[in-house]
């Protein structure tokens, strides 16, 4: 079993006489066998959270429970967890066989033959049997990362902790390893906490993702739920690539006024905004912006500044006022720089955030085809 709970976990570092709150009253409840991704920008407290769970840092306050057992002050070796780091941390002068078996040698009283058997099984699982007698220096980055995974797997931990394990690999290998880790985790059914700053990794790998900013939990949920129903502007801007576009607007009755255009809203949207202040942020994802004819309601006239054809889609960058925005247009539609176009932000696809707190007031509507539970299943 490997249910892991963080209750008000807080970690404060002292640096040059001042306090740095790296993790701020973090609450997480991770189910046995779940794959949870901790994601957020550099410095948001992901690694510190993981290191507190592993016991490599001591929590300043709060509790860490593993299957209801309080492990907050337990030594790392008693926590039944295995950690995989970004830099592999392999022993350079030991063979792959010894690297994988070393943890068992020092923490168990298994015989040499028993350890050897477990090493062979693990190497088989990771398809690295032919590498067993080599040293880490003779291996590629991807192979080294497999060995690092092997060293974690062989211990049969209750929880896997992975800190940016793929960031040293090139883009193609990263994609392959991503799938392999997911497959392995599903087969082994071991609770996994995976830290990354890469939102694509988070979206594609996690059963759920927890988004952190400045040590605080911003949202936890299934990837598509966070994508379609962000709780605040931070999550909306962080999840999704290219990022959501944001425009400052003021509400005046049935109209959202921007410096450069007016946007008419339905009664329904107006009533959703009834309790909020006038100071609002309109959010629209690039793929929801439509190119339309000039007589379309709420159409905004603009000029395409730059185009980036990606094949399946083309990213078109255009200005409204001083700001540049991104639209993702289907790849077959020819569009060129300097072209004058009209764009519209379809009302059912807009998000509206409180301009001050950043809290979401209205999220985009989901059609049946984007039902998050259906897609997740
Ligand atoms: P990255 O992706 O860059 O590793 P992160 O989200 O993992 O970032 P942490 O490494 O957990 O962030 O750091 C969170 C905050 O705590 C940062 O402001 C960092 O400077 C600070 N911090 C981390 N470790 C220490 C330490 N040992 N002493 C002082 N401050 C620290």
369 pLDDT band, cuts 50/70/90, is very low
What pLDDT, on a 0 to 100 scale, did the predictor assign at position 16? 87
Nearest atom in ligand 1 to the alpha carbon of residue 49 is 11
Alpha helices in 29-170 (DSSP H): 46-54, 96-107, 112-125, 141-153
pLDDT digits (tens, 9 = 90+) for 335-346: 999 999 999 999
What pLDDT, on a 0 to 100 scale, did the predictor assign at position 193? 97
For ligand 1, atom 3, name the residue with the nearest CA.
Answer: 42
Which domains are seen in the chain, by residue range?
4-228 (3.40.50.300), 243-362 (2.40.50.140)
Cβ-based neighbour number of residue 140 at 10 Å: 12
Dist. CA 375 → ligand 1 center (Å): 35
Nearest atom in ligand 1 to the alpha carbon of residue 44 is 6
- What's the rounded Cα separation, in Å, for the pair 302 and 321? 9
- What's the rounded Cα separation, in Å, for the pair 81 and 269? 48
- What's the rounded Cα separation, in Å, for the pair 18 and 4? 31
Q: Which residues sit with their C-beta closer than 6 Å to ligand 1?
A: 13, 15, 20, 22, 40, 42-48, 197
Report the share of the chain in percent with pLDDT over 90: 74
372 pLDDT band, cuts 50/70/90, is very low
Tokens at 194, concatenated: 């995976």
Is residue 216 classed as helix, strand or coil in its secondary structure? strand
Task: State how far Cα 303 lies from the chain centre.
Answer: 33
What pLDDT, on a 0 to 100 scale, did the predictor assign at position 214? 96
For ligand 1, atom 16, name the residue with the nearest CA.
Answer: 22
Its sign, for the CA torsion 254, 256, 261, 263, is: negative
- What's the rounded Cα separation, in Å, for the pair 315 and 301? 17
Whether residue 97 has pLDDT greater than 60:
yes
Whether residue 371 has pLDDT greater than 90:
no
Asked if 300 contacts 293 with a C-beta cutoff of 8 angstroms, the reply is no
């Amino acid at each position: 079993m490997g249910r892991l709970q963080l209750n008000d976990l807080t970690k404060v570092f002292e640096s040059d006489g001042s306090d740095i709150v790296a993790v701020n009253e973090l609450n997480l409840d991770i189910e046995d066998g779940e794959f949870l991704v901790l994601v957020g920008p550099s410095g948001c407290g992901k690694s510190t959270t993981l290191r507190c769970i592993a016991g490599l840092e001591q929590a300043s306050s709060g509790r860490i429970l593993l299957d209801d057992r309080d492990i907050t002050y337990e030594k790392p070796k008693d926590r039944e967890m295995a950690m995989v780091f970004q830099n592999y941390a392999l022993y350079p002068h030991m063979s792959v066989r010894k690297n994988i078996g070393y943890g068992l040698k020092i923490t168990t009283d298994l015989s040499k033959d028993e350890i050897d058997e477990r090493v062979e099984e693990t190497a088989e699982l990771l398809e690295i049997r032919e590498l067993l007698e080599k040293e880490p220096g003779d291996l590629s980055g991807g192979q080294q990362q497999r060995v690092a995974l092997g060293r974690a797997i062989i211990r049969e931990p209750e929880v896997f902790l992975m800190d940016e394990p793929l960031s040293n690999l090139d883009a193609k290998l990263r994609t392959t390893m991503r799938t392999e880790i997911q497959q392995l985790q599903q087969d082994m059914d071991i609770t996994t906490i995976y830290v990354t700053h890469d939102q694509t990794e988070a979206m594609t790998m996690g059963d759920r993702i927890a988004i952190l900013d400045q040590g605080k939990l911003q949202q936890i949920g299934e990837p598509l739920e966070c994508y379609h129903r962000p709780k605040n502007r931070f999550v909306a801007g962080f999840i999704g690539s290219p990022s959501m576009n944001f425009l400052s607007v003021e509400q005046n009755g049935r109209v959202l006024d921007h410096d450069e255009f007016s946007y008419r809203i339905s009664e329904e949207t107006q009533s959703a905004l009834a309790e909020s202040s006038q100071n609002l942020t309109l959010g629209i994802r690039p793929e929801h912006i439509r190119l339309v004819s000039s007589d379309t309601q709420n159409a905004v006239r603009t000029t395409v500044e730059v185009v980036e054809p990606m094949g399946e889609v083309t990213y078109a960058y255009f200005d409204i006022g001083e700001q540049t925005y991104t639209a993702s247009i289907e790849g077959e539609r020819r569009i060129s720089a300097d072209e004058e176009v009209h764009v519209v932000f379809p009302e059912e696809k807009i998000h509206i955030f409180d301009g001050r707190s950043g809290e979401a007031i209205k999220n985009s509507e989901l059609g049946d085809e984007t039902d998050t539970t259906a897609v997740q299943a």
